[in-house]
């Protein structure tokens, strides 16, 4: 089959399972700031920017004014007590294929840049173009993240309809759709039905099945 012109990847839930990495950083930062245990993480916040997540955790205990302090401290803990996320299936197969076929690709995530760089380095991943939440004025679900990445990879707006975007969250799927690209769902967080309702054109359990679909 004819391969798309480009491939854009979300990070958490697509390239890695980082639930533990982020969870432990939120937990330790919250404990340091408030001397309390953080609330359970609601699925509805999956893929949202860390500032929105910080605002939620602070609102649970009526400390909204500490949102920025928690956001900064969590980022610090994520770096200081870095927990290597677990690599999900199919990532290396995909990057090897795209490099061989000379198809541009990269990461646009709502995670912070330092976490992305640490993870890419520790897991020895072949991603040279990586954007994090600090790189956008409006994080996902706004389309800016994917437009920024596509532009950095040399694409023009009339190429966008031929670019696949791998996303596991409803937030990111909406961002890809608003950017005029092709959202492809990864089933690490939501059901096939939920992802398709948000705009996913096709859905795969992991990147490995997407890779097999494209290479068969």
Q: How many residues does the chain have?
A: 216
pLDDT of residue 2: 87
> Count of domains in the chain?
2
Whether residues 97 and 192 share a domain: the answer is: yes
Q: 113: which 2 tokens?
A: 């840049």
Q: What is the DSSP string of the chain?
A: -PPPSEEEE-SBTTTEE-HHHHHHHHHHHHHHHHSSPPPPPPGGGTT--HHHHHHHHHHHTT-GGGHHHHHHHHHHHHHHT--PPEEPTTHHHHHHHHHHTT--EEEE-SS-HHHHHHHHHHTT-----EE-GGG-SS-TTSTHHHHHHHHHTT--GGGGGGEEEEESSHHHHHHHHHTTSEEEEETTSS-HHHHHHHT-SEEESSHHHHHHHHH-
Supply the pLDDT for residue 180. Answer: 98
The verdict on 125 and 60 lying in the same domain is no
Q: What is the C-alpha separation between 135 and 29, in angstroms, rounded?
A: 23
**pLDDT of 101:** 96
Is residue 133 situated within a structural domain?
Answer: yes
Residues 98 and 173 in one domain: yes
109 and 182 inside one domain:
yes
User: Which residue range forms the structural domain that includes residue 68?
Assistant: 19-80
Instruction: Using 50 as the pLDDT threshold, list the residues of the chain that sit under it.
Output: none
Tell whether 53 and 95 lie within a shared domain: no
């Amino acid at each position: 089959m004819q391969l798309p012109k480009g491939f854009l990847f979300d990070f958490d839930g697509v390239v890695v399972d980082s639930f533990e990495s982020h969870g432990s950083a939120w937990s330790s930062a919250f404990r340091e700031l408030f001397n309390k245990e953080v609330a359970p993480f609601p699925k509805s916040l999956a893929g949202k920017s860390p500032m929105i997540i910080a605002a939620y955790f602070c609102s649970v205990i009526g400390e909204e004014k500490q949102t920025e302090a928690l956001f900064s401290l969590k980022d610090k803990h994520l770096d200081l007590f870095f927990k290597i996320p677990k690599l999900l299936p199919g990532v290396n197969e995909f990057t090897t294929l795209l490099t061989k076929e000379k198809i541009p690709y990269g990461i646009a995530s709502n995670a912070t840049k330092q976490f992305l760089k640490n993870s890419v380095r520790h897991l020895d991943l072949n991603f040279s173009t990586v954007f994090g939440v600090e790189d956008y004025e409006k994080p996902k679900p706004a389309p800016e993240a994917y437009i920024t990445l596509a532009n950095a990879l040399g694409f023009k707006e009339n190429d966008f309809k031929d670019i696949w975007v791998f996303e596991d969250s409803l937030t990111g799927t909406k961002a890809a759709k608003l950017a005029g690209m092709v959202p492809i769902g990864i089933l690490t967080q939501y059901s096939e039905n939920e992802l398709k309702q948000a705009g996913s054109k096709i859905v795969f359990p992991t990147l490995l099945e997407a890779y097999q679909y494209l290479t068969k």
